[in-house]
Chains A and B, each alone.
Chain A
Amino acid sequence: MEWPLKRTVNTKNIRVLLPSIVVVAVLLIFGATLSGRFISVRNLGSILMTASLLVFATTAQNIVFLSGNNGIDLSIGAVMSMTALVGPMMPIGTPVEFAFATLTVIAMGAVCGLLNGLGIRVLSIPPLIMTLIMSNVIYGFTLFVTKGRPAMELSKILLGVNKTVFPMIRVLTICGVVAVAAAEIILRKTRAGRKLAIVGDNPNAAGLCGLRVSLISVAAYVCSGGIAGFAGFMLVGYAGSAIMRMADSYTLLSVAAAIIGGTSVAGGRGSFVGGALGSLVLILLTSILQMLNIPQGARFVIQGVLLAVILLTNTRSEKLRQ
């Protein structure tokens, strides 16, 4: 029985990414026509950096979407705000301390994710509600620990994420790219990634093949929390300071970016590269609107409408497919 050699990369996977790629290109061109400064190295570098932060959040959200069972993580923003505020409270003068602090914030996020996962699998609370509740609890915790005070004095190492390594590429951007690449490789090339996709797509079949569905589902939330924890730490390095609830918008934006990137909210299908592209689309959009000097209010409205439209069309076409 002869059949042609097929490569590992499915044409289907790429086809899903096409719309995002096209939109990114369109936005770039549109921005360029508006102002030459738009495609300047500095501006693009800044855009990439901002997008990288969203990319972390989107990657976390993607993992949870992939795990199925109506998975969603509405606590990402809360976790990010938490580590953005609490992270700098730890000593991070030396590289060793910095590494330790990084591990700690990841662990904090992972614990939040663990609680989410347990609530969802053990107590059978729908993910939407559970993560929503957790976000509230996390805010309470953050408030309690920081007593409402913002983070101000930051170590140079942390601020180093802003450093330019290559033209257009800052440290933070590199982190983002590495994260996406690692996540995508894990998804496609490791057993753990494959198991996640199987559990998300058809948990019954997964169970009958001996996969431990509950464990994998909880692990997804733990990973999401951990990544969000790390992202919060990067956020405070990028911004230079942190205040309560500063990462609020990341939660829903990460949902939007993941959906734009082609991830299915039903589970099992999606890509991290797509999520990165989706993040890029959103940040480019914001950037262009800012450049057009549209008053902030109208900007919000347009963003909201466009976002709504994109979400609607994406989920609608998926429902039609079902």
Chain B
Amino acid sequence: MADRKRYRFKDNLWGIWGWYGNLKFNLERYLYLIHRLTGVGLVLFLLLHIIVTSSRMYGEAAWIETESIIQNPLYDLGMLLVIGALIFHGLNGIRLILLEYGLLIGKPTQPIYPYKPTLKRRTPRLLIILMMLIGTVFFLIALYEFLLVWGVLS
């Protein structure tokens, strides 16, 4: 075994920047990036959501007070972002589950030049398009609801 002290990994690792900084790869890598970012964001929102909704415990006065704090367009905009993140994370998660257990990812073939990785073949790419279409529909429904709240539509 090589001498571990010799390793200079710190100088040559891509680091956390490597998750996000290198923008020269394939589409799936960016989906991975957004999936991770939305995941962390949603956990933080979940904790906030638990704290906010727990004001129900202290009766109606507390509930109305919390409502008055959170019922402003800025919070609603944040809410819309959270719903967008949720829709992305959910649908991309379904895509990942379908691919990760080898259900729709395809079979090994003879590599013939020019090589085409399975992720760039038809089924996985169609899955991404399908995911985006369904996500857009869901997001439009949410947007419609918020436009009603803001009084833009009636």
Chain A partners chain B:
no
Write the residues of chain A forming the contact surface with B, with a CB cutoff of 8 angstroms.
none
